[in-house]
Each structure stands twice: as structure tokens, then as C-alpha cells.
Structure 1
Amino acid sequence: MGDAPEPIAGAKWQAVLAELTERRAEFNAQGYVPRDFIEKLMPFGVYRHATPIRFGGSVLPPHRFLRLVEEVGRIDGSTAWVVGFASANTYLGALPVGTQKEIYRDGPDVVVAGGLFPMQRAERTKNGFRVSGRWKFASGCMAADYINVGLLDESAGGQPRAALLPADQVTIVQDWDVSGMRASGSFDTVIDDVEIPLEWTYIRGGASRIDEPLFRYPLLAYQAQCHAAIGLGVALGALDHAQHSGSYRGITGAPPVGERAYYRTEFARAYVALQSARRYFLDVAEEVWETVSAGEEASAEQVARSRLSAVHIADTAAQVVHDLSKVSGAAIIQNSHPLNRIRLDAQVPQLHASLSQHIYDDAGAVLLGLDPTTPGFLGPADPRGDRDRSRSSNTEEKTP
């Protein structure tokens, strides 16, 4: 099982969070989280939690990893975005086991990044694929050991094929010019006429070759949950700011905001909305983990509730930040104001494809005993209409 990670508590973890507080402005200015800070997260199981146990991985249940992402996001949304993508190493379970062994040959703490889209045409060769192209949204790529790219492959039957390359074979174009999640370093990646062996490619979201609990956990639901946990952390950061800003006075001479009924009321509403949604979000994740840990497979209803709880917490978190911002005074528009960074980050998780608004429709359909309207919502091998199939995990949903 490998060395046990440090507990996600205590002085060492708090020291890492304190360093993040000191360095988040640095990360934002340069547009990415550097490798030296990523390595400081490794002893806490951030990356090895998604490594197969046979290759040195250490078990960190999803509901605990979500809380870890939340804690980081409470301080800095961009760093939480990069940390959250550590969960995406579960996609690599679809690679041949021999390839996975090579990936983890130097240890379980492997950092993988890479955007799948836009999918690029690949020439089939005797040994694999010859590829050139440019891909977007490779969050965390500046600190990555390996980088994924997406291939158009007719032999994949319409499913997206991903190729994994060592980071030194990929050119990173630092063109990330955004206002929200600026330090996520979601740069473009480029490769030029590279042949990629077939065994280093896999169906993105395809069935895992690893029979361990985390690799039985619904894969796309987990990715949605991790993105939602980022927004949750950002919103908790907004609540922290509001809670400690009651003495703030504007330039008009009006009473401190904490003495204003509308401020107290808005804070209370935001607090209870977020905490209620958070509890359901974590409870569902823990329930599904208990199911897969017992050797069972997540039911269609569990997948639907996992995804529903994720989109709901993402929407609730974004609304909470908006509502707190509107009562916090005009000073928040200053670039140096902490709530300005928070409000710019807050909507980004909500915009991710895994948290699209169609999830409500799909989840509602499943919970009503109907077919979801989005192909792949429940699982890769589940024909639409096969509601009785309990295995609903590894697939790749086709969303914008």
C-alpha cells in the first residue's frame, strides 16, 4: 500500500496552508502553481490517493479528498483547481497495466495534466498514432510529469481516445489570460509530429483495468464532485471574509456593516444554504464510497445523486459568493481586495462541463425511474434505457 500519508490535519498541514496564504498572490501574478509547492502537498496523499494500491497508492476516500480540496479552495481557488485534478489520475486505470507500472516506477506521487479538447486527428501507424496538434485547458501542466491530449480515432467507436506523454515531449504555450482561476495555469499544449505507442493511449473514461475501490467509484461523478468542491471552498472563503468584516465602514460614514440588518440577514442565509448543501454533498460521497468499498457497484440512483449533489453545491456556492458580494461595499472592486479574487473565482467551477445545468434534468430522470437524456450519464457500457444495470461509473460524457 505504500507509505501512509500524513494526516490531513495538524501542524504540518496547517504550515502548508499558511504558505499558500503567503504565496497565492505570487501564483496569481505568474499564472500557475509551481512544482515546488505541488511537492509540498504530496506527503498528504494528494496525488497517491488516485494511484493504484499495487503501485504504492494510499487510500484516501473521496469524501475525505473532497474536504481536502475544500480546505485548499478556502484559501485559494486556483490552487484548489490544480489539486482537484489529482483525482483525474483515476482515468489512467484504463491504460494497460504494464503502462501504469511504468508511470509509477519512481513512486506513487505522479502529477498528470492535460486538456482533451479540441480533439485532433491522429494517423494510425504500425505501433500507435502519429500526432500533431494544439489542445486547450491543461490545468496544472507547469508542474506535470505527464500530459494528456485527445485524439480523433475512428477505431474507438466514437469514444474519446486520450494519449499520455511525458511532459518533456510537450510544448506549453503560456497563453492563459483570464480573470477567474488565473493561477490554475490552464495553458495550451502543443505536440509536433510525435508517434505515441498504442499502449500509451486509452479510452478516456473507459473501463478500468484496476479492481480497487477507488477505481470502482463512479468516475465522472467523482470528477464533478472534485470540481464542485473547489467552488465550495471558495464560497467558504467568502463566508470567512464576511464573518470577519463586520467592523468595515465605507467612506459615507454609515454604521459598520455588521450593524446593518441586511448584512446580518444575507450572511445568515448564505451560511445555512452553503452548509446544508455541503452536508448532502459529502454524505452522498461517503455513502457511495461505502458501497464500492464493500465490493458492490454504485447504483444508477447513487450516480445520479452524486452528480446532482455536485451541481447543486456548485450553484449554491456561486450564488453565496454573489449574495455576500452585493452587501460587502464598493471596495471589493479593487484588485487588491480579497473578496475581489474570490468573486472572480467563484463562477468558474459552475461553468465546467461536468457541472452543466443539464445534470438536473438527467438526475431527475433517473430518480424518477426514467432514462437520462445525455448519453453516457450513467456509465460507459450502459446502453441508454438499461436502468437496471448498477455499474454506472467509467464513461466519457459528451458535453461542450
Structure 2
Amino acid sequence: MSVTTTQSSPLESAVRIAADLPGRALEVESGRTVPADLVAELRDAGLFGLMAPASLGGLEADPLTLIGVVEELSRGDAATGWTVLIGQGAGYLAWLDRDAAEEVVGTRPAPLITGSMAPHGSAVPSGDDAIRLTGRWPYTSGCSVADYLVAGFRQDAGAPRFALLPSADVRIHDTWHVAGLRGTGSHDIEATDVVVPQRFTFDPFGPAREDGPLYRLPYMSYLLVAMAGFPLGTARRIVDEYRDIVLVKRNTERTLLAQTPIIQAEIVRCEAAVRSARSFVHDAVRQVWAETQDGIASPRTRALLTASVQHAMRTTIDVADSAMRACGASQLYDRAPLQRFFRDVQTAAQHIAFGLEAQRRAGSVLLGQDVPDFLI
């Protein structure tokens, strides 16, 4: 008799793994990185390969699947969700020379690739087919668990390029002593005079070598698709925690917070805001994806994607502020998930994808002004 097995979908795997994350959140934070066994579980489920080309063993998932996975994991633990979204660097194999990409997955199938897009490195030629790379890159989430690292650089004041480095070629500096997302291990990495064959460098702003619609997204849109699930998942968890706290906590007059008019009004406002933000993201992503099937989505459509993700993060910060002000000093302790999520979302909001400059560019497009394709 044969036995038929079914493999879980990425979203099913994310829901299963996320169920255990609240119980491990303090471990992740105190360890300052996602623990090895949890990394292995995420790897086995293919969740670091959501953006990796199917032709190279990845899942090449559609954007709503990617967003759903990151949303579920971030709802369970913000640092784990962040590590998984930043750990989608295997998607950049779509821009690498085919022989180099095949060499990577031949050496390490389903590689975990993270890195820094900032062009803080400098390169000089090393023969005809290589460069020597030197630089130091901050905010490299998940660097201690990665197989390869992407590092941005410039050569002779030219346009930025990315180099793909084996983790053994970089030094990690323990710099990630911060307010939030402490469990992401977002340390500095450094390369000193590292020889990198040219075939392991690529232009992330140019056309990909893979033809799938995921790789037709211009650079910033590609990044925002990876980021979008994080504020949705953290906002959902914050409102859930808010509700659970006010159902049992009393004010100084010994009235349950849930029975006070101001909390009743705030809870429904926060619930509506989170649901509205999620709908905006999903609507914007669906439109981008539909247009990408036949080419590149219009600047206006991509600007609305940026606007939706920006709005989702602002909504998350707003509901976190409301919850912390309402729930009081009892939520300041390390054991309280609410204060941890409050810190985590404030830290995440400093990422360039959520910054005012990205918001300004989206507004420029909606006002009919030109913005370089890769920046919107």
C-alpha cells in the first residue's frame, strides 16, 4: 500500500511555526538572534526561499503569499518575522549570472542570504574578472545565521552594485545593542580586501536574468513586497494584546478598562485602522501584480504600493502608542509582549522602506512628477 504525503504550503508552515513564537520571544530577544533550531525549522519549510527563483530550487512565491508568511511570523514574534523578510536575499540570485547562481545552490541548496543594500563598500580591479572589496556595512540582520551576504559597493564612483560573499569572507562586529528588534542580530559586517569574481556581482537596479513576474518589479517595489507583511502582523498582535489586557485590567476606580468609554472607543478605532491598512496593502499589491504579468507596473500603481506599506507602518505605530498609553506601567516589564512590540515597531520604522524619503517619492509620482523607476 502506498502512502501519499502532502507538503504544507508556505502559509500553513508559517501559521504552524508562528504558534510557538510567543513562547520563545524572550529567548530570541535575550539571545540577540533567532536560535539555531528555529532557523533550521524555517529553512526546512522553505521560508527563506520565498523570493528565490523556482529554477534554482526556490519557491518564487506570489507577493500575497510572501506577505502572508511574514505577517504570520511577525505576529508571533517581530524579530523572527523581520529576520525572515530580510533573509529573502536568495531572491537576488535572479540577477546573478546563471553559472554563478547555480554554483551557489550547488554548494548550499536553499541558501539563507541576507545583507546590506547600502553602497558602503569600495572596489578596485583584481585582474580582468574580479574585484577586491573593502567596506563595513551596518544593520545586517541575520548575519550570524546566513550562508551568504549581499554587500553594496561602488567602483570608481560608478553606479552601485551588489557583491555576493560567502559568510566566511566577512567579519561580524557585535554592534546591535538597541531599543527594539534585539533578536535580529543586525550587526555590522566588514570585508577587507576580499577577492570577488565579477560573476558574483550584479546590478540590482537593472533587469533580472530570470523572467518571472516577481523579478520584473523595480528595486523599491521588490523591497516593499518583502516588507509589507511586517507592519500588518505586528499591528494585529498589538491590538490582540490590547484587547486581552483591558478585559482583565482595572483602573484606579476598580472599573475594568474594557468597561470604560474611552477604551471602548479606542479599541474599535484601532481595530478599524488595522483592518483598513491590511485592505489597502492587499489592494495595492494585487494591482501591482496584475500589471506585472505583462510588463512593469505603472509608476502610479507602484506609488500606491509604497503608500500602502508606509500607511501600514504608521498605523502600527499609532495603535502601539494607543495600547501603551491605555494599559499602563504594568506593560513596561520585559515579560510583557506589548512593550516589546512597541519597541520593535519603533525600531523597524527607521528602515529606509518606511522613511519619509520613500513617502515623498510616492507623493511626487501621484502629483505627476518624474521619479527614477528603481526608486518607486
TM-score by length of 1: 0.86
Which stretch has the larger CA shift, 41-50 or 276-285? 41-50
Match of 2:155 in 1: 153
C-alpha distance in structure 1 between counterparts of 2:245 and 2:299, whole Å: 44
> Which of 125, 129, 132 in structure 2 is aligned with 1:130?
132
Tell me which amino acid in the other structure corresponds to 1:353.
Answer: I
Residue in 2 that maps onto 1:304: 303
Q: How far off its partner does 1:107 sit?
A: 6.3
Question: Aligned residue for 1:168?
Answer: 168
State the SS of the aligned residue for 1:48. coil
Deviation at 1:43, TM superposition (A): 4.2
Contact 2:89/2:112 (8 A) holds in 1: no
Specify the alignment match of 1:204 in structure 2.
204
| Aligned twin of 1:120 | 121
Q: CA 1:106/1:336 → structure 2, altered by over 3 Å: closer, same or farther? A: same
- Tell me if structure 1 keeps the 8 A contact 2:141–2:186: yes
**Residue 139 of structure 1 aligns with which residue?**
141
> Could you tell me how far 1:108 is from its partner in structure 2?
5.0
In structure 1, the partner of 2:363 is 364
Amino acid at match of 1:232: L
3-state SS of the aligned residue for 2:349? helix
Quote the offset at 1:211 in angstroms.
0.8
Aligned residues of 2:136 and 2:188 also touching (Cα < 8 A):
yes
Does residue 329 of the first structure (1) align with residue 331 of the second (2)?
no
1:254-303 CA distance string (max 9 Å, x none) = 311111111111111111011111101012112222332x3332111121
Instruction: Tell me: CA distance 1:5–1:357, structure 2 relative to 1, closer, same or farther (3 Å).
Output: farther
Q: Measure, in 2, the Cα distance between the counterparts of 1:296 and 1:200.
A: 27
- Residue 271 (structure 1) aligns with: 271
Asked if 1 retains the 8 angstrom alpha-carbon contact of 2:11 and 2:65, the reply is: no
* Distance of aligned partners of 1:38 and 1:78 in 2 relative to their CA distance in 1, 3 Å threshold: same
- Percent identical residues: 28
Deviation string, structure 1 residues 337-370 (Cα, Å, up to 9, x no partner): 1111011012223221122123333223322322
> Partner residue of 1:65?
66
Distance (Å, rounded) in 2 between the aligned partners of 1:57 and 1:220: 21
Deviations for 1:52-85, whole angstroms, at most 9, x for unmatched residues? 1221222421112111111111111111111112
Aligned match of 2:78: 77
- Post-superposition CA distance 1:107-152 (Å, at most 9, x none): 6522111224461222211131112332211101111110122222
Structure 2 equivalent of residue 247 of structure 1: 247
CA contact (8 A) 1:45 1:60 kept: no
Q: CA deviation at 1:221?
A: 1.5
**What residue identity is the alignment partner of 2:241?**
H
CA contact (8 A) 2:180 2:347 kept: yes
Within 2, Cα distance between the matches of 1:300 and 1:251?
50
1-side partners of 2:61 and 2:44: how far apart? 12
Mapped to 2, the partners of 1:317 and 1:15 lie a distance apart of 24
CA distance 1:77–1:66, shift in 2 (3 Å): same
- Code of the residue aligned with 1:144 in structure 2: it is A
CA displacement at 1:5 relative to structure 2: 5.9
Q: Could you tell me how far apart the structure 1 residues matched to 2:191 and 2:343 are?
A: 32
Contact 2:239 2:271 in 1 (8 A): yes
Question: Displacement, 1:237?
Answer: 0.7
SS in 2 for 1:132: strand
**What CA distance in whole angstroms lies between the structure 2 residues aligned with 1:16 and 1:353?**
28
1:285 is aligned to 285
Q: Secondary structure at the match of 1:204?
A: coil
Deviates more, 1:41-50 or 1:272-281: 41-50
Compute the displacement of 1:253 (Å): 4.8
Indicate conservation of the 8 Å contact 2:18/2:75, yes or no.
no
CA contact 2:313–2:354 (8 Å) conserved in 1: yes
SS in 2 for 1:238: helix
Aligned to 1:206, the other structure's residue is in SS state coil
Does the C-alpha gap of structure 1 residues 288 and 108 become closer, same or farther in structure 2, counting only changes over 3 Å? farther
Structure 1 residue ranges without an equivalent (≥5): 380-394
Query: In the superposition, relative to structure 1, how do residues 29 and 359 fare at CA in structure 2: closer, same or farther (>3 Å)?
Result: same
Distance 1:5 1:41, change over 3 A: farther
Partner residue in 2 for 1:232:
232
SS in 2 for 1:192: strand
Aligned to 2:190: 190
Q: Give the aligned residue type for 1:275.
A: R
SS in 1 for 2:99: helix
- Label 1:360 to 1:113 Cα distance change in 2 as closer, same or farther (>3 A): closer
**C-alpha distance in structure 2 between counterparts of 1:150 and 1:202, whole Å:** 10
SS at match of 2:28: helix
The aligned amino acid for 2:19 is: A
Q: Is the 8 A contact 2:88 2:112 kept in 1?
A: no
Which position in structure 2 is the counterpart of 1:93? 94
Segments of 5+ residues of structure 2 without an aligned counterpart are none
CA contact (8 A) 1:35 1:142 kept: no
